[in-house]
Chain A
Amino acid sequence: MAGRRVVVTGLGLVTPLGCGVDTAWSNVLANKSGASRIEHFQADDLGCEIAAMVPRLDGRGGGGADIAGTFDPDAFLTKREQNRIDEFIVFGIVAAEEAIKDSGWVIDPEDTETQERTGVIFGSGLGGLQTIYESSLKLAEKGPRRFGPFVLPGMLTNLTSGHISIRHGYKGANHSVVTACATGAHAIGDAARMIERGDVDVMIAGGSEATICRIGITSFVACRAMTTGFNDKPETASRPYDKDRDGFLMGEGAGAVVLEEYEHAKARGATIYAELKGYGLTGDAYHITSPAPDGSGGYRAMKMALNDAGMTVDEIGYVNAHGTSTPMGDEVELKAVERLFGDAASNLSMSSTKSATGHLLGAAGAVEAIFSILAVRDNMVPPTLNLHNPSVETPIDLVPLKAKKKSLKAVMSNSFGFGGTNASLIFAELPKND
């Protein structure tokens, strides 16, 4: 990046593969799927009856009181607080709390100057969809006098940032991103830019989503974007690049990172996971829901990220693909990556962790950035589950079925969204002499 260097010093995850970075990542590397049948609301009339749900105490997503990685917001929020905010905000707060704790970034409440140098950018693709749905029904049924004052602040997309800022006294940028399925990646990239240019020294960035509800599933089925043919075998539904893929599987959760100016992190002795080396963002200017068939938008985002990083394609060992398991999108991205990497494509591994987590929409970019960072840290490449028969031939290793060891210096994470919006991030290990 052009200005000050930006590093990652904290990670937090709430995913269908478990809550907490250690649990989720070990499940990714164990080739597990987070998919199951929807049981907590009527879904048998929606076309898609399955999703990848965050494990909960009520048994959803395979969770339970004694099961590691089960979602437990009570540690951070009272029941009363939880009842007043949509679940996407709860997910975001919990992921952010883990990332902040992990980073060890603590600010003295009296230290206004430091508070003003720390900020937040948290986004969501759809925000409080379920809250809007429920309160709309209540408004129609009971009228405006029974419409509570907490509906609005409980569903606003930027309120995750607001809550994180209030909880920790962060008085720098208090911002948000809404770019559909590219939200999480844009939030991280934009946050890094603010550090790079000196507005702040530390940023909490990420995305969250909680739309596994009747209106959420119905909306995407109506766009013909979701899987409908694997209701009896949920864990096989998300199958990027496989010839039998038929649409994305919805996931939910949140990813949060702590980004920090390099010297600032070093001076306080913080553990540095990786350096955020490059960020690219482009628009397709083509269609509201379909990617440009030539993949030019994604191609230019990746190219811009490479230029920003001052790197060449042969330095990138792994791409965490957008790869949603839709019939068209996967191949468009794959061809764009082949075109960009040229001869280096034969040394590249590229997988879609959406095969395991489902598509976390506005949280996907943040969660997948974290998986990419962990791939560099551990020299492990996550798998593309259910990839038995690729629909096209490619020189790129799509990491079918099983995670594998691979020495990695730098990785790329792609996120593309409705509206023709594209984002690409590059993370690299710190040179040993740094």
Chain B
Amino acid sequence: MSDVLSRVSKMVVEHLDVEEDKVTEKANFIEDLGADSLDNVELVMAFEEEFDIEIPDDAAETIQTVGDAVKFITEATA
């Protein structure tokens, strides 16, 4: 597991109060992890703070799965 994935997974578990084994790369925040639109906003903010990056609103809308988040963060911090 990449460092980014493990950090993202840990944050998702914390913010969405879900079981760790449900947080796979394919897991969709809303459909699989029970997030609502406000949860998503909060998660994106948490990613920004944790990884010291900026995620513009149009990019945030494309982040729908754990894998999407990992991909965006990995590229933004490369």
**Chain A residues in the interface with B (C-beta under 8 A):** 78, 80, 145-146, 148-150, 153
Contact = CB atoms under 8 A, between A and B. Distances in A.
B17 to A, nearest CB: 5
Q: How large is the interface on B (under 10, 10 to 19, 20 to 34, 35 or more residues)?
A: under 10
A148 B42 contact: yes
Contacts, number: 17
Contact of B17 (A78, A146, A153): A78
A131 to B, nearest CB: 15
B49 interface: yes
Given A78-B17, A80-B17, A146 B42 contact: no
Given A78-B17, A80-B17, A146 B38 contact: no
Contacts of B38: 149-150, 153
Contacts of B41: 148-149
B42 A149 contact: yes
B21 to A, nearest CB: 19
B48 A145 contact: yes
A177 B41 CA distance: 30
A149 B36 CA distance: 11
B48 to A, nearest CB: 7
Contacts of A146: 45, 49
Contacts of A78: 17
Contacts of A149: 38, 41-42
Dominant SS among interface residues on chain B = helix
17 contacts: A78-B17, A80-B15, A80-B17, A145-B45, A145-B48, A145-B54, A146-B45, A146-B49, A148-B41, A148-B42, A148-B45, A149-B38, A149-B41, A149-B42, A150-B38, A150-B42, A153-B38
Interface of B: 15, 17, 38, 41-42, 45, 48-49, 54
Nearest to B36: A149
Closest 8 pairs between A and B when the two form their complex, measured CB to CB? A149-B38, A149-B41, A80-B17, A148-B42, A149-B42, A78-B17, A150-B38, A148-B45
A391 to B, nearest CB: 52
Nearest to B46: A148
A146 B17 CA distance: 21
A407 B17 CA distance: 53
A163 to B, nearest CB: 14
Given A80-B15, A149-B38, 15 more contacts: A78-B17, A80-B17, A145-B45, A145-B48, A145-B54, A146-B45, A146-B49, A148-B41, A148-B42, A148-B45, A149-B41, A149-B42, A150-B38, A150-B42, A153-B38
A410 B41 CA distance: 53
A380 B54 CA distance: 63
A148 B15 CA distance: 12
